[in-house]
Structure 1
Amino acid sequence: MENFAKINFLGAAGTVTGSKFLIETSEKNILIDCGMFQGLKELRELNWNNLPMNAKNIDVVLLTHGHLDHVGYLPRLVKQGFTGKIMGTAPTLAIAEIILKDSAKIQEEEAEKANKEAYTKHHPALPFYTIFEAEKTIKQFQVEVPDKWIVLSENISFRFQYNGHIIGATFIELDINGKRFVFSGDIGRENDYLLNSPKKPEWADYLFIESTYGDKLHPQEDVDTILSDIIKETIHNKGNLIIPSFAVERLQTLMYLLYQLYIKNKIPNIPIFIDSPMGNNVLEVFKRYPKWHKLSDSEYNAMCKHINIVQSYKETWETIDDKRPKIIIAGSGMVTGGRVLTYLQQFIDEPSTTVLLVGYQAEGTRGRLLKEGTHELRFFGKYYPVKAKIKAIESLSAHADQNDLINWMSHIKNIPEKVFLIHGEPTSLDAFRLKIKETYHWNVTIPKLTDMEKLQV
């Protein structure tokens, strides 16, 4: 085997989304994650580019977890000729299947709507990929169990290790010629409502670590009190509380929190509507894989019974027409698309409405604009005045903050030859670089998009 592995930073380098890291060796070419870029227009436009290498030459894709910015490019990779296996844990591949099908459906619908209503400069507007292409991709999925070394070739093996963040998420340890490459994926939090604490790597010759919150500490908020105050105010104003939510993990966490507030008598029995077809499917994944989370069967069943799950677009409109004060949780978390836009179209211009943001809002998203106080919001080709109150809870993030990230590295026994900071906006990356140098005195690099590094193995 050659003494070098080439690492190509094809995404999530100098930015948070679009996770793709290609490792080229003389034995195998391995792609770690295969995500879509989200957020700023110039990033989203990169999604339409083919990979700068022949997809047929990639042997295998290993997935850290099922979020769109880690799996959303897979159908394009298959379209470009990739025929290998796509490996992940069982819940990761279950989530990836849901997300790819949902994403394809939304893209087909949005392309059709844009063509019909002519609010796009693309003629015709095309979906990024179709449901057919998503289904073809899913056929290449292969489930692997965590904690077990899987041999890829004579000198290359890998294993998945539990990482919190979302159900099924892992970090990846990849051994090449005796050198260990550790890809953090997205790291979860120590005291998550639904998930166990992440495991920690114990050896890393080359460490690739996410930096989403590399410059921040999550605030110590009393989430119960903040939520119950907002809900009581919503009832008092006879209004609607709209919570744009990520369908994976955040939605289930909100269900759990609201159910707990009700059984602790901290809020009255206000109607709660979950309008996220994808979120409903993710609930099924929780049911199928109980060992991957902390909810008991009885808690899970009681929580689902307490909440109204919207099953159709007809029911979306029935929910809108329901005059009672209510809580509506709908996708998507950064207000980039999905059912939440239908509710905002009806209610964002009413002062009795509250929009509660409960997750990371990437640059260039509608969620970030709302958080920063925009007076109007554009969607479906029109501008809507923002008269609703906009509030945010910062501490529900599924991402490790700076302390958690530093702590996650604390069990590494050796001094890594190189640490690469990925998945972060520039200020976050630089702050985290300084923190690692100060804490561990390690050699830290911040790669840029399309950079290539040769590493000795």
Structure 2
Amino acid sequence: MTGAVLTFLGAAGTVTGSKFLYEEEGQRYLADCGMFQGEAVWRRRNWDDFPIAPDTLRAVVLTHAHLDHCGYLPALVRQGFRGPVICSESTAAVAAIVLRDAAHLQEEDAVHARAGGYSRHDPPLPLFDTADAERAIALFRPAATDERTHLPAGATVSLHRAGHILGSTFAVLERHGHRLLISGDLGRQTHPLLLPPVAPPAVDTIVIESTYGNRKHAPLDRERLGRLITATAHRDGVTLIPAFAVDRTAIVLHTLAGLARDGLIPRMPVYVDSPMAPAALDVYRIAIEEKSPELRADLISDGDPFDPGDLRLVHSAEESQRINNPGHPCIIVSASGMATGGRVLHHLRHQLPDPRNTVLLTGFQVPGTRGRSLLDGARSVKIHGRYVPVRAHVLDLPEFSAHADSDELISWLASAPEPPETVYVVHGEPDARQTLVERISIELDWLAVAPQHLERVRLW
């Protein structure tokens, strides 16, 4: 296939693993470098050799620091990539935290698998290790937003505010006058901490996410949330909130602080148990102190917007173990948000069997994850090789999602100054992708396509 070619190496046919390979005249660039998560058929793809020699990539562009957009980078480096990684300054700061934590979890999971004898590999090995993560972090080249950054071999990229998490952007790759937009994940108009995405510029091709392509978000019912947490406290129970350490924990704490301030929940300890959550919160606090243009004006004020009144950051494994059986009503916020790994697994193992407790799911749960199993009503889940009964109350709070919904995605596209030639809809479950394709086709009268995994298309 001649000309400029785009290959969908991830997030096509599934919600995770975002990787988009742009090739032209022998030059190769990768937009996003995410890990596959969820169902085993996708997770196993993380172990496949990269489809091209990684050392032939001229650069990688990261839209943001979530694992399904940046988490494969250490594995790419392990296989030989040595080029620059272009991203926003805040993405560089947050992604460094994410990759170090991911490497630690990879190493820890290998140890658990070796001890429990439940791995298919002999001996169990991590996908990448801490040394790989550090080599990847050393390649970060932070770029200013809304300005063109020159890439090797004649291409440029500009990054623009996406409003999904701190530092998140959409990327516009340009070469020989042609422009390709990669949306990354787009944020909501009502994100409690961040300003919404800026409008897209005129481009030839758009690759857009569709996580909530078939759904509309309801506003957060603060009174209902307050009642749920209060009822759990009155049962002497624990409210466990699986939440990603990056952004989601900040949103949850900001919400809890508001509920406490308004008397909608009783005063109780709020434990944040994730090794990287304190560091991620510090990045937010620095952004607040520096009055980052990403942040909503009302967030930049006196006081700590993330303290519900009795905030307790859990640092060591010993502290984490002590709150497995706290002996008093409390709230535990712990990563990961889809219960795929991390300290939240230990808390789920202890809290799920007790009907006094409540588990609040605060965002999209990818099929094949423990979070999705809980959301779908599983009576038991497997944790570290053993099944655990589910007797706790499990409740879904999709209002916490930081993804744009279907209406917001359409509105964002419609704000472009002119129609692109083609829109490729990715990063969504089949119904979400197809629904968004149909809406784009009918409401905007644009050509929209849902590509398949590893499909190659000519751009121009």
Scaled by the length of structure 1, the TM-score of the pair is 0.96
Aligned to 2:124: 125
Question: Among the aligned pairs, what percent are the same residue?
Answer: 38
Contact 2:166 2:247 in 1 (8 A): yes
What displacement does 1:180 show? 1.5
Whether the 8 Å contact between 1:32 and 1:62 is mirrored in structure 2 is yes
Equivalent of 2:407, from 371, 378, 403?
Answer: 403
* Match in the other structure for 2:168: 169
1:275 aligned residue: 273
Q: Deviations over 1:37-93 (max 9, x none)?
A: 000000000000111111111000000000000111111111211110011011111
- The structural deviation recorded for 1:221 is 3.9
Q: Does 1:414 align with 2:413?
A: no
Give the equivalent residue in structure 2 for 1:101: 100
Indicate the residue corresponding to 1:438 in structure 2.
442
CA shift for structure 1 position 231: 1.3
Tell me the residue number matched to 1:61.
Answer: 60
Instruction: Tell me the residue number matched to 1:17.
Output: 16
Per-residue deviation, 1:298: 2.6
Match of 2:190 in 1: 191
**Residues 286 and 293 in structure 1, CA contact (< 8 A), matched pair in contact too:** no
Q: Does 1:323 align with 2:327?
A: yes
Question: In structure 2, how many angstroms separate the alpha carbons of the residues matched to 1:159 and 1:3?
Answer: 25
Q: 1:208, 1:420 within 8 Å by CA — same for their partners in 2? A: yes
Q: 91-100 or 261-270, which moves further after superposition?
A: 261-270
Matching residue's letter, 2:250:
Q
Secondary structure of 1:421's counterpart equals strand
Q: Deviations over 1:361-391 (max 9, x none)?
A: 0000001110110111101110011111111
C-alpha distance in 2, partners of 1:153/1:47? 27
In 1, are the aligned partners of 2:59 and 2:152 still within 8 Å (CA)?
no
Superposed CA deviations along residues 83-133 of structure 1, whole A, max 9, x for unmatched, are: 100110111111111111101101101111211232323211101100111
For 2:374, the equivalent position in structure 1 comes to: 370
**How many residues end up aligned between the 2 structures?**
454
Return the alpha-carbon distance in structure 2 between the equivalents of residues 447 and 183 of structure 1: 14
State the one-letter code of the partner of 1:351: P
* Aligned residue type for 1:174: L
1:107-256 equivalences in 2 (<5 Å): 107-152=106-151, 155-222=154-221, 224-256=222-254
Report how far residue 321 of structure 1 moved. 3.5
The counterpart of 2:316, out of the listed 294, 312, 329, is 312
- Judge conservation of contact 1:27–1:153 (CA < 8 Å) in 2: no
- The equivalent of 1:293 in structure 2 is 295
Unaligned runs of 5+ in 2: none
Are residues 29 and 319 of structure 1, via their aligned partners in 2, closer, same or farther at CA, if it must alter by over 3 Å? same
| Corresponding letter in the other structure for 2:229 | I
Q: Report the CA distance shift for 1:302/1:343 in structure 2 as closer, same or farther (over 3 A).
A: closer
Q: Could you tell me whether the CA contact under 8 Å between 1:259 and 1:306 is conserved in 2?
A: no
- Return the alpha-carbon distance in structure 2 between the equivalents of residues 151 and 97 of structure 1: 23
Structure-2 separation of matches of 1:411 and 1:232: 42
Residue 190 of structure 2 contacts residue 196 of structure 2 at CA under 8 Å; is this kept in 1?
yes
Q: Which moved more, 1:409-418 or 1:125-134?
A: 409-418
Letter in 2 for 1:325: P
Question: How far apart in 1 are the matches of 2:305 and 2:362?
Answer: 24
Letter in 2 for 1:195: L
Range moving further from structure 2, 110-119 or 243-252: 110-119
Contact 1:183–1:209 under 8 Å retained in 2: yes
Q: Which runs of 4+ in 1 moved over 4 A?
A: none
Partners of 1:422 and 1:446 within 8 A in 2: yes
Counterpart of 2:266, as a letter, is: P
Q: Which of 424, 428, 445 is the matching residue for 1:424?
A: 428
Report Cα offsets for 1:235-292 as digits up to 9, x if no partner: 2111111111111111001111111111122222121111011111100111222303
CA distance in 1, matches of 2:213, 2:91: 25
For the pair 1:89 / 2:88, whether they are aligned, the reply is: yes
Contact 1:333 / 1:359 at 8 angstroms: preserved in 2?
yes
RMSD (Å) for aligned C-alpha atoms: 1.6
Q: Which amino acid aligns with 2:55?
A: K
Residue 78 in structure 1 maps to residue 77 in structure 2: yes
Partners of 1:32 and 1:39 in 2: CA distance: 21
Flag the 1:11–1:385 CA change in 2: closer, same or farther, 3 A.
same
Matched residues in 1 for 2:96 and 2:78: separation?
17
Instruction: Give the Cα separation in 1 of the matches to 2:154 and 2:144.
Output: 20
Supply the distance in 1 between the matched residues of 2:285 and 2:220 (Cα, whole angstroms).
29
How many Å separate the matches in 2 of 1:388 and 1:359? 19
Could you tell me how far apart the structure 1 residues matched to 2:313 and 2:338 are?
21
- Looking at structure 1, the residues matched to 89 and 403 of structure 2 have their Cα atoms a distance apart, in angstroms, of 21
- Give the superposition deviation at 1:220: 3.4
**Contact (CA 8 Å) 1:359, 1:393: kept in 2 or not?**
yes
- Consecutive unaligned residues in structure 1, runs of 5 or more: none
